[in-house]
Copies of this chain bind each other. A is one copy, B any other.
Amino acid sequence: MSEVAEEPVLAEEIFPLLEEDQEPKRLRVGVLISGSGTNLQALLDACASGALNAEIAVVVSNKPDAFGLVRARRAGVPAVVVDRARYESVSGYNAAIADVLKEHGVELVVMAGYMRLLGKEVLSAFPNRVMNLHPSLLPAFAGASGIKDAYEYGVKVTGVTVHFADEHLDHGPIICQEPVRVDEDDTLETLEAKIHEVEHRLIVEAVRLFEQGRLLIEGRRVRVLPAPDDAGTLTGLDSV
């Protein structure tokens, strides 16, 4: 600690303005899928448009025929199949997923329609860096059929949740939620369409909050910090 009073330091000296040809560092996101990958597409689009200061570093599917793999290749993103059937144990399977993610320099893992419970091998390799997208207002209607279960229960309000994953199904600290009304004339199909639309928006928003370093986990609660004046001054890597 200096005993000499220092001159105040301008913010520009700490966080120098970027040169015009110098791109800000983009968050490397790994996406886990099992199916058509419409939420993956929303993330790919947000990265391409610059709405997200991120890039999809790799897409991993447990299903060899998941259409999301095609979406990844079309976008020039590495697409990898890790098939449970090819591994003796669940832990070997999960270790393989963790390896793929690490090989591609992933900083944030997003489960976007990934229909298996994630193993501790991935969670411990990416502590507080795995997000799950779920089509209900958790903790209501966890599990594989959140929209249908809510519809059949007869709720008037359901919604979408993005949360940090932990070792329990659809359980970790909640990042953001958005309600969706079940209208009188909604069928299961129209409700699904409304939910999916919100999912595409909410997963992009959650990744943006992480990338901007605005998510602070306090026990079961996720604090969302105010938007920074300069998006370059905070990174997801420091605050989570």
Mark A159-190 against chain B: 1 for CB-CB distance below 8 A, else 0. Answer: 10000000000000111111100001000000
Is the C-beta of A73 less than 8 angstroms from some C-beta in chain B? no
Residues of A in contact with B, size category: 20 to 34
Residue of B nearest to A180 (CB): B179
Most chain B CB neighbours (cut-off 10 Å) among A137, A159, A176: A137
Is the C-beta of A13 less than 8 angstroms from some C-beta in chain B? no
Residue of B nearest to A218 (CB): B154
How many angstroms from the CA of A138 to the CA of B153 in the assembled complex? 10
Residue of B nearest to A151 (CB): B221
Indicate how many identical chains form the complex.
Answer: 2
**Are the CB atoms of B156 and A177 closer together than 8 Å?**
yes
The answer, among B139, B156, B176, for a CB contact under 8 Å with A153, is B139
Chain B residues with Cβ below 8 Å from A141 are 139
**Are the CB atoms of A154 and B222 closer together than 8 Å?**
yes
Residue of B nearest to A163 (CB): B154
Chain B residues with Cβ below 8 Å from A173 are 154
Is the C-beta of A48 less than 8 angstroms from some C-beta in chain B? no
**Are the CB atoms of B174 and A154 closer together than 8 Å?**
yes
**Minimal beta-carbon separation of A158 from chain B (angstroms):** 8
Known: A140-B140, A223-B184. A177 touches B159 (CB 8 A): no
**Minimal beta-carbon separation of A220 from chain B (angstroms):** 4
Is the C-beta of A157 less than 8 angstroms from some C-beta in chain B? yes
**Are the CB atoms of B154 and A177 closer together than 8 Å?**
no
Mark A206-240 against chain B: 1 for CB-CB distance below 8 A, else 0. Answer: 00000000000001111110000000000000000
The answer, among B139, B156, B219, for a CB contact under 8 Å with A176, is B156
**Are the CB atoms of A139 and B137 closer together than 8 Å?**
no
Chain B residues with Cβ below 8 Å from A175 are 156
**Are the CB atoms of A157 and B159 closer together than 8 Å?**
yes
Residue of B nearest to A179 (CB): B179
How many angstroms from the CA of A139 to the CA of B152 in the assembled complex? 12
The answer, among B155, B176, B178, B224, for a CB contact under 8 Å with A137, is B155
Residue of B nearest to A155 (CB): B174
A interface residue numbers (CB < 8 A to B): 137-141, 152-157, 159, 173-179, 184, 219-224
Q: List 26 A-B contacts (CB under 8 A).
A: A137-B137, A137-B157, A138-B140, A138-B155, A139-B140, A139-B141, A139-B153, A139-B155, A140-B140, A152-B220, A153-B174, A153-B220, A154-B174, A154-B219, A154-B221, A155-B177, A156-B175, A156-B176, A156-B177, A157-B159, A157-B177, A157-B178, A157-B179, A159-B179, A179-B179, A184-B224
